[in-house]
Amino acid sequence: MKIDVRDHAVEEISKIALTENEGIRILAEFAGTCSIATEIELSIEKAKEDDLLITEKGINFLVPEQSKASLPEEIILDFKNGMGFKISSKSETLGYNFRLNDRRS
């Protein structure tokens, strides 16, 4: 899995003091409703034993094994002031207006 982190997202994430064992978790879960959808959440967390650790531009991203199946092989993470984070692929927008939930405690 590859994460293309755009410069605006790097700038925003660099404002957060992350320790060596922490990163940005990308949680993606298939939502079995009347339409096919994937619910995505971004949070600041400590790494777990079964996480896939992806380091891009000096930022650790934590992707749980079950989330890999719900995400494309390559995602793009961007940030826009007033709109929050956006996750997309080369062919579609997966979600936008994401905030980082701090779950380190």
pLDDT above 70 covers a percentage of the chain that reads 93
Q: Is the CB of residue 104 less than 8 Å from the CB of residue 44?
A: yes
Note if the pTM is more than 0.85.
Answer: yes
Angle at 94 between CA 89 and CA 96, to 5 degrees: 115
Write the pLDDT tens digit of every residue in 27-63: 998 766 555 567 899 999 999 999 999 999 999 999 9
**Domain annotation covers residue 105:** no
3-state secondary structure of 49: coil
Token pair 């949680």 is found at: 27
Q: How far apart are CA 24 and CA 34, in angstroms?
A: 30
- Count: domains in the chain: 1
Supply the CATH number for residue 8's domain: 2.60.300.12
Domain holding 47, by residue range, is 2-97
Query: Which of 2-11, 19-28, 35-44, 86-95 is the least confident region?
Result: 35-44
